[in-house]
Amino acid sequence: MENFLQDKDLWIVGSVCLVASILWRRFWNLFTYKRKRDSSPESASIDIQFREKDGSDKSKVYQKGSKTQKKKKPLDASDLFQAGFEEVQNQQNNQLSQSTAAHLDLIEEEQEVDKYREGKDGKQQAAVEEEAKEQEIVSELFQIKEEDKKEEENRLKKEEALWLSEVNQLAALNSSDRTDGSITVTPESCEENLEIIFSTKRHVTDETLPDELKKSRVEEDKELKEEEVAGLEAAEVGPERTEEKRKNAEPVIDEYVIDSSPPPPAPFEHRLVTTKTHQITSYYTINKEEVLGGGRFGMVHKCVEKSSGLVLAAKIIKARSQKEKEVVKCEIEVMNQLNHDNLIQLYAAFESRHEIILVMEYVDGGELFDRIIDENYKLTELDTVLFIRQISEGLQYMHKMYILHLDLKPENILCVSRQTNKVKIIDFGLARRYKPREKLRVNFGTPEFLAPEVINYEFVSFPTDMWSLGVITYMLLSGLSPFLGEDDNETLNNILACQWSFEEAEFVDISEEAKDFISRLLVKSKSWRMSASQSLKHPWLSDRALHYHLRHKKNKCHSSHAPPSEG
């Protein structure tokens, strides 16, 4: 028994020594491994690979087959002893690994808490910075406001000083019997000072004012009262009677407002017309005996719509070939785009085998050309102003719609009636749509009214119509054609040379404004001509004082007969 106890003690002592040696060995291996890992760059790079994107460590996972496994042998007594110690060692290792894992979890939690605190601190810092910026902006605004306030106060002080100096000067001049000779105003506070500056009348006590200033103040008060009474009367009576009273009280003797109202519109709404193949006689009665006009295109007759009794004009155009019909359809397309009181309106269109008939608005005042050549008609300069203004308004609308007339002449301008000076532009057979990117050239028109760029076969545009307007103005004022020669060749050469003048006797009594108007249109270079909008703003067409002068002039353009009454 004693031997057994001795053997047991020896066994315990031996096992303790063995365990101590094993632990020392493991500790030494761990120590050497840590030193190698810290000193080796490769281990550092490997360690980096096992870190997550957020900076936390991952558990190291090694590839399979990285270490070879040895075959197991049958255990003997020493091996059993070794196995017992290995179980103890494994239990200790498990406890150590569990404590290590718990420790790592605590470290990760602390790191997450630190990150959260850092993010929170960053947001708080950004909020603090934004608040500091806002405070800086507010302080700058207050500073600017204070500076503006100081400037305003300085300005008010200067105005007050100037006013006081003026009052002192007036008092010194007008009150020689007074000893002080000056007036001082001492407002009790800054608020009173501001009230003095911003009031419509200066607030000065009657005791300090001189007599003349008192009188002027009484007169001002009286005038203000009269104005207030007049305003109340105007409000009670109404704007119309007030205007009449103003006109009766203060008659305008140096201005005249011309009748710039548009001519009466067509008796039907604007419509988009397409050609019909039906017989026109089924819908309209055409009076071929009554001819309203004619030209190279055909004839215009008076017609009546059977269903409504509406009086219209039928323009019969000879069109045998398909090309000729396309030209007429181009005129229809242009008229579909034009809706203006100074432009004739299209009502319907009919197509047959050899002709196309356009049914249009009817006016019975005759051509403007008839008034130019009629010696029994008194055409004054003011009448010409009315005509040219309406033509300019029609051209302004056409050019806004990007359409060129290209055949503007007195024959293509109709008077609405023989009693008024209202006109409408007609005949859009040569009109073209202007496209800036597509340069347009034409080789047609009436020689007397052709612009230089048409004769030279150059690009045409809006100023081409304005040249024709200048020729029409010249003819209305003088009854003469500025470029007309013995034949067409001479006429075209005169246009290219831009040879014209105001030396004829017919221009002796014509105003300088009218001559300037023509001079700004009959310019060889199209880029220097007035546009339609600019012509309407020219003094000859817009100056009321000039119109008043023209209305009372006794001269006539080129005849000496009584004018018709204006409607």
Q: What pLDDT, on the 0 to 100 scale, is given for residue 94?
A: 60
Query: Is 374 designated active site?
Result: no
Instruction: Find the mean pLDDT for residues 443-470.
Output: 94
If asked whether residues 514 and 434 sit together in one domain, one would say yes
User: Residue 123's pLDDT is what?
Assistant: 64
344-362 exposure pattern, b = at least 16 Cβ within 10 A, e = fewer: bbbbbbbbeeebbbbbbbb
The per-residue pLDDT for 73 is 42
For residues 305 and 283, the answer to whether their CB atoms sit within 8 Å is yes
> Virtual CA dihedral for 524, 527, 532, 537, nearest 10 degrees?
-100
In a domain, 557, yes or no: no
Top-ranked range on mean pLDDT: pick from 95-104, 162-171, 174-183, 545-554: 545-554
Residues 304-331 have a mean pLDDT of 94
Residue at a domain's end among 306, 330, 360: 360
Q: Please give the pLDDT value at position 171.
A: 65
- The CATH number assigned to the domain holding 452 equals 1.10.510.10
CATH at 354 = 3.30.200.20
Q: What is the mean pLDDT of residues 271-295?
A: 91
Would you state the pLDDT for residue 516? 97
- Sheet with 298-305: list strands edge to edge: 275-276, 346-351, 355-360, 311-318, 298-305, 284-294
- With respect to residue 28, please indicate whether it lies within any of the assigned structural domains: no
Given the residues 341, 383, 407, 427, select the one marked as catalytic: 407
pLDDT digits (tens, 9 = 90+) for 357-411: 999 999 988 898 888 787 777 889 999 999 999 999 999 999 999 999 999 999 9
> Looking at the domain assignment, is residue 162 inside a domain?
no
> Measured between alpha carbons, how far is 155 from 145 in angstroms, rounded to an integer?
15
Single residue among 333, 360, 387 that ends a domain in this structure: 360
More confident residue, 117 or 527: 527
Q: Are residue 388 and residue 320 in the same domain, yes or no?
A: no
Rounded percentage of the chain residues whose pLDDT exceeds 90 = 41
pLDDT for residue 52:
43
pLDDT higher than 80, residue 549: yes
Q: Which of the four pLDDT bands, split at 50, 70 and 90, describes residue 566?
A: very low
Strand ranges (E), 267-388: 275-276, 284-294, 298-305, 311-318, 346-351, 355-360
Q: Are residues 391 and 424 in the same domain?
A: yes
156 assigned to some structural domain: no
Question: Which of the 8 DSSP states describes residue 565?
Answer: P
- Buried b / exposed e along 364-376 (16+ C-beta atoms within 10 A): ebebbbebbeeee
Q: How far apart are CA 398 and CA 430, in angstroms?
A: 14
What secondary structure letter does DSSP report for 405?
Answer: -
Question: Is position 433 within any domain?
Answer: yes
Question: 490 and 410 in one domain?
Answer: yes
Sorting pLDDT into bands at 50, 70 and 90, what band is 489?
Answer: very high
Residues 393 and 399 sit within 8 Å (Cβ to Cβ): no
315 annotated binding-site participant: yes
Residue 297 has pLDDT above 70, yes or no: yes
Contacts of 38-46 with C-beta under 8 Å, sequence gap 24+, read none
Domain extent for 453? 368-551
Residue 303 confidence (pLDDT) above 80: yes
- pLDDT at position 389 is 97
- pLDDT given at position 77: 45
Kindly provide the b/e burial profile for residues 14-39, where b requires at least 16 CB atoms within 10 angstroms of the residue's own CB: eeeeeeeebeeeeeeeeeeeeeeeee
Within a domain: residue 174?
no
396 and 502 share one domain = yes
Average pLDDT score over residue span 281-308: 90
Do residues 393 and 488 share a domain? Answer: yes
Same domain, 346 and 388: no
| Domain final residue pick, 308, 329, 360 | 360
Q: Please tell me the least confidently modeled range out of 117-121, 413-417, 456-460, 474-478.
A: 117-121
Write out pLDDT tens, residues 464-477.
999 999 999 999 99
Candidate from 58-67, 119-128, 163-172 with smallest mean pLDDT: 58-67
Same domain, 402 and 544: yes
Other CB atoms closer than 10 Å to residue 407's CB: what's the count? Answer: 20
Q: Tell me: pLDDT of 146 over 60.
A: yes
Q: Can you give the pLDDT at residue 103? A: 53
Q: What CA–CA distance (Å, rounded) separates 524 from 526?
A: 6
Specify whether 301 is located in the same domain as 373. Answer: no
Whether residue 344 is found in the same domain as residue 383: no
pTM: 0.56
Kindly report, residue by residue over 187-242, the tens digit of the pLDDT. Answer: 444 444 444 333 344 444 444 444 544 445 555 555 555 655 555 555 444 545 54
Residues 314 and 429 in one domain: no
What total of structural domains would you count in the chain?
2
Long-range contacts of 194-199, Cβ-Cβ distance < 8 Å, separation of 24 or more: 194/156, 196/160, 197/156, 197/159, 197/160
Beta bridge partners of residue 311, listed in sequence order: 304
Looking at the domain assignment, is residue 431 inside a domain?
Answer: yes
What region does 228 belong to: left with phi over 0, alpha with psi -120 to 50, or beta?
Answer: alpha
If you ran DSSP here, which 8-state letter would residue 531 be given? P
Q: Is residue 460 part of a domain?
A: yes
Q: Which of 115-129, 270-284, 301-315, 413-427 has the lowest mean pLDDT?
A: 115-129
Query: Do the beta carbons of residue 465 and residue 391 sit within 8 Å?
Result: no
Assess whether 399 and 284 both reside in one domain. Answer: no
User: Angle, to 10 degrees, between the axis of helix 41-49 and the axis of helix 2-39?
Assistant: 90
